[in-house]
Structure 1
Amino acid sequence: MVDHTHYDAVIVGGGHNGLVAAAYLAGAGRRVLLLERLERTGGAAVSTRPFAGVDARLSRYSYLVSLLPKRIVRELGLRLELRRRSVSSYTPAVRDGRPTGLLVGADESATRESFERLTGSDREFAAWQRFYAMTGRVAERVFPTLTEPLPDRAALRERVGDPAAWQALFERPLGEAVEERFADDLVRGVVLTDGLIGTFADAHDASLRQNACFLYHVVGGGTGDWDVPVGGMGAVTDALADAARSAGAELRTGHEVTGLATDGRRTEVTYRHGDVERTVDAETVLVNASPRELSLLLGEEPAPTEDGAQFKVNMVLRRLPRLADASVDPADAFAGTFHVGEGYRALGRAYREAAAGELPQAPPSEIYCHSLTDPSILGGEPGAAGWHTLTLFGLHTPASLFRSDNAATRERLLASTLAELDRHLGEPLADCLARDADGRPCVEAKTPVDLERELRLPGGNIFHRDLTFPFVADDSREDGPGSAAARRWGVATGHETVLLCGAGAVRGGGVSGIPGHNAAMAVLGR
């Protein structure tokens, strides 16, 4: 059965960016159809109950929100709450044979004391303040540009207005800035980690992919703060889906797009629902999928993409574990980002091991406890008993490590990652884990290969491809494929009537809605 129907815009993929685009376009009076392969919208930004009989809603693939502009929340009338964490980070360490750590929070005096206990002086704290004052100024100036037409390099450099900051963040490998400003290995590592989330790179990588990743992690909201979505990540995408429907967009789940054909004036979209195949006609198609997936839909040869390099572990605990560093309350240590094995030298070793085709011997990771900031994600017995969720995000684990035997490699990495965490605890994590209705520990792990299979992320890359700086790479908007409006907004694909509206667009990545907004603006401004 083939049913030809015309729409102003068809959106391929119902992740958060596709929902943002749908809400803007439908709100502007366009006839919009959104097609999602899975049985629900949300993509990688969903909440699920992965453990049988355990009433805990985990943000399964993505955890925190920083890049979602208040402008999008306001303009779409989103009903959601983002809650600030009471602690920024805790990083355990062993100094002179004794367990200690670095606790960074809103209390400046307590943070200063923690730096002094760790390093023996106040020099690293002063350097920390100077460095993050610099990134804060960059954030204030760069973040507003992410929902404006794409600037060229010179225009953004002028907007930043700080030659030293521009050199440190945009021109030279991040490792140089870290090594010039900080002396302590642990402090250096804590700074560097923001350049490695989902990005497989060395601190001195000449590609500067680590710099682009770092930039997106420190500019969110103009402050760089990372907040917890109340109700879980699914609350964010549920609010977006409600906004899109209320604006008049038609959302169809369980509908898989199987092909696109464009003549430069309009595009034909073929999709499957069950055993039935249909075709619709659109003035514009916005693709909330990876550039690789778009090429396959168009019948084109996809360009090579960089694999993802993260290991995701979700857990439910009956209680938070005691720490080896007894001077710190576990509720404080886990309230922010808990860094494990992320000293500067350790991160370099892990990268070199993984680049050589081996799992890191001491896998670096960071951990988030959503339930300390938002207990509402726990219901029933877990809520009443004060249980907690933990989400671990491992670094330097590229998809290539898992290709030959994903299941066995996943189990090996899970065991070594949790063992690395245990080194900093006062009791084994296993003693704190809750069990599901079948008596199994509440632990699930996802490799890049798992994400590729479940979400069609190429190589499990959570950013769809390498992140890029938020400016026109060649300092020119005049030439190039796609429409002038699409190039102006950083969402061009090489086809006049097909735009990217997902993480693979310029200024994509993270739970931000920015590519969805920008693709909609390219359509509405055309």
Structure 2
Amino acid sequence: MQPREGIPAAGGASRPPARSTYDAVIIGGGHNGLVAAAYLARAGRSVLVLERLGRTGGAAVSTQAFPGVQARLSQYSYLVSLLPRKIVDELGLRFAVRRRRISSYTPTTRDGRPGGLLVDNGDEARTADSFRQLTGSDREFDSWREFYGMTRQVAERVFPSLTEPLPSQAELRERVADPAAWEALFERPIGETVERFFSHDLVRGVVLTDALIGTFTHAHDPSLRQNRCFLYHVIGGGTGDWDVPVGGMGALTDALADAARAAGAEILTGCEVTALDPDGAVAEVAYRTGDVERRVGARQVLSNAAPQTLAGLLGRKPAVPGPQGSQLKVNMLLRRLPRLRDGSVDPREAFAGTFHIAESYGELEAAYREAADGRIPSPAPSEIYCHSLADPSILGPDLAARGFHTLTLFGLHLPAGLFTEGGDATRRAALDAVLAPLDACLDEPLADCLALDGEGRPCIEVKSPLDLEHDLGLPGGNIFHQDLEFPYGDGTDNRWGVATGHPKVLLCGAGALRGGGVSGIPGHNAAMAALGR
């Protein structure tokens, strides 16, 4: 399946909406907004989606990033874990994912010789042997199995609750039914748990990375921001597996837009909401399309925008700036996968899972400290994966036949504040900081493997947090809109975790209490709240 470049609105953005008042107006046509639209329209509600960009999908899109090259990359978000099968089935989506057999590969040096830790989901004995070669005993692998046995049990019990009315803290703790696991994941800094289970610096780092993806923090942060990030990265699907979207991430949002339209929702792109007044008999939504200003009424408004953005639309200034995004996204197209210094592993396996670079426990802490001091860390930690190994359909037939591959790199501890000065020079320095430690693991320079676009330029695209703010309207480039929260409530009447303080306005995006990631969960929950379920 070749995903489309996001779906434009039928009839174009310049036409007025079909009604003057809708049961629901949804601000933003990202995947969560489309989930909400599909559920509400299927329930018989009149629904209008207003999307600022010229296409639907938000961050979950597929794009031909390199001119003249038939490769469609998941440009921003790129893997699926949190999307419940319940949503796919209830909305009748034609969408599939593929499991990655290789969970991760982490290159290292043993006694002066290149090696690596390979975690193979399909061969426990092979994984155990890789741990044994790294650490010299079976102890670390035994701890690995015990630790991830604990997280999987928590995942099985917590994940189904994400599409149910919001439990209280006590109710969720009772559901977990494991006081030691609850304390380790919900009450004490995750660094304490990692250090208690594991002794090897590299293994500790591989475990900790899930607590740091897109979150600028450290292992022992007393606020537990790292714990919340970790939890969302290990509970998806009740297993914690991160899967490859077949056809690219745009295949999901295209299917969602199709489902919403088929149910009767109206979707207008190129329409930027400029103000929201929820205090009348119906809420009034003002928006701009080109040079034309329009208004539409809504009995309910569901906001897929970040809470900070929503505050501005309501005429309020956020009390404090939200947390910055903290990542560098690098998309690449290669003529071939690079050779590794570690000759014991095939690059097709090493890059099939998550390829960890400069992510030992000590390196993660050192990088955080450097970035907190206002410097680009060197080396900068990152992780890489190759979509086209699991799903070659994102490549044109000629590229696939010639052995081309995509690589996606996600750099950690690179907060937005590092990019506010220096322009292109800072971006180049950040790119060098993530590519240099990768090159140190390769038997040939990565630059020698890069494909060229139709104009003869290397196929490499860099997105800083400020680029995400500019491209997608994410304040500070924060991929979660704001700090993640634990998935329980405080006993108030916020039954679905989507309330805003305005009865007619609900959050349906990543900034909802159980938001974050490509999940559709806040879209589903906002729809349930709007329907009074």
> TM-score band (shorter)?
over 0.9
Contact map agreement 1:192 1:203 (CA 8 A) in 2: yes
The residue number in structure 2 matching 1:481 is: none
The answer to whether the Cα contact below 8 Å between 1:188 and 1:343 also exists between their aligned partners in 2 is yes
SS of the residue corresponding to residue 62 of structure 1 reads coil
How far apart in 2 are the matches of 1:188 and 1:5?
57
**Residues 1:2 and 1:374: Cα distance change in structure 2 (over 3 Å):** closer
Partner of 1:257: 273
Q: Distance in 1 between matches of 2:415 and 2:37?
A: 33
2:305–2:509 CA contact under 8 A, matched in 1: yes
Corresponding residue for residue 521 of structure 1? 528
Distance in 1, Cα, partners of 2:16 & 2:511: 31
Aligned to 2:509: 502
How many residues align? The count is 516
Give deviations 1:21-69, integer Å, cap 9, x for gaps. 0000000000000000111100000000110111100000001000000
Residue 217 of structure 1 corresponds to 233
**1:134 and 2:150 matched:** yes
Amino acid at match of 2:483: D
TM-score w.r.t. the length of structure 1 is 0.97
**In the alignment, which residue of structure 1 is the partner of 2:205?**
189
Distance 2:509 2:248 in 1: 21
Letter in 2 for 1:110: R
User: 1:264–1:496: 8 Å Cα contact kept in structure 2?
Assistant: no
Please say if residues 324 and 477 of structure 2, whose CA atoms lie closer than 8 Å, have aligned partners that are also in contact: yes
Contact 2:201 2:362 in 1 (8 A): yes
SS of structure 2 residue aligned to 1:310: strand
Contact 2:83–2:236, Cα closer than 8 Å, also in 1: yes
Name the structure 2 match of 1:312: 329
How far did residue 273 of structure 1 move? 1.1
Tell me if the contact between 1:146 and 1:470 (Cα under 8 Å) persists in the aligned partners: yes
Partner of 1:490: 497
Contact 2:339–2:347 at 8 Å: present in 1 too?
yes
Q: Equivalent of 1:55, from 56, 65, 70?
A: 70
Post-superposition Cα deviations, 1:77-125, rounded to whole Å, max 9, x if no partner, equal 0001101012000000112111111000121010000000111101000
Contact 2:376 2:433 in 1 (8 A): no
Q: Which amino acid letter does the alignment assign opposite residue 250 of structure 1?
A: E
Secondary structure of residue in 2 paired with 1:320: coil
- Letter in structure 2 aligned against 1:513: G
What does 1:443-454 align with in structure 2 at a 5 Å threshold?
443-454=460-471
The answer on 1:285 being equivalent to 2:292 is no
Question: Which runs of structure 1 show a deviation greater than 2 angstroms over 4 or more consecutive aligned residues?
Answer: 1-4
Conserved? CA contact 1:264–1:495, under 8 Å: no
Q: CA deviation at 1:381?
A: 3.0
In 1: Cα distance, 2:298 partner to 2:317 partner: 23
Match of 2:29 in 1: 14
Compute the displacement of 1:380 (Å): 4.2
- Asked if structure 2 preserves the Cα contact closer than 8 Å seen for 1:399 and 1:460, the reply is yes
- Which AA in structure 2 matches 1:37? R
Gaps of 5+ in 2: 1-14
Identity of aligned residues (%): 70
Gaps of 5+ in 1: 478-483
Whichever residue aligns with residue 464 of structure 1, its letter is H
* 1:374-431 superposed Cα distances (whole Å, 9 cap, x missing partner): 0000004312212000000000000000011232211111122111100111111011
How far apart, in 2, do the equivalents of 1:208 and 1:8 lie?
Answer: 39
CA distance in 2, matches of 1:266, 1:215: 39
RMSD of aligned Cα (Å): 1.2
Q: For the residues of structure 2 that align with 1:416 and 1:142, how far apart are their CA atoms?
A: 37
Q: 2:112 aligns with which of 73, 97, 108?
A: 97
Query: Is residue 2:468 matched to residue 1:461?
Result: no
Q: Secondary structure at the match of 2:329?
A: strand
User: TM-score with structure 2 length normalisation?
Assistant: 0.96
Is 2:78–2:249's contact at 8 Å kept on the other side of the alignment? yes
Q: 1:116-265 to 2 correspondence within 5 Å?
A: 116-263=132-279, 265=281
One-letter code aligned to 1:400? G
Measured in 2, the distance between the counterparts of 1:408 and 1:295 equals 34
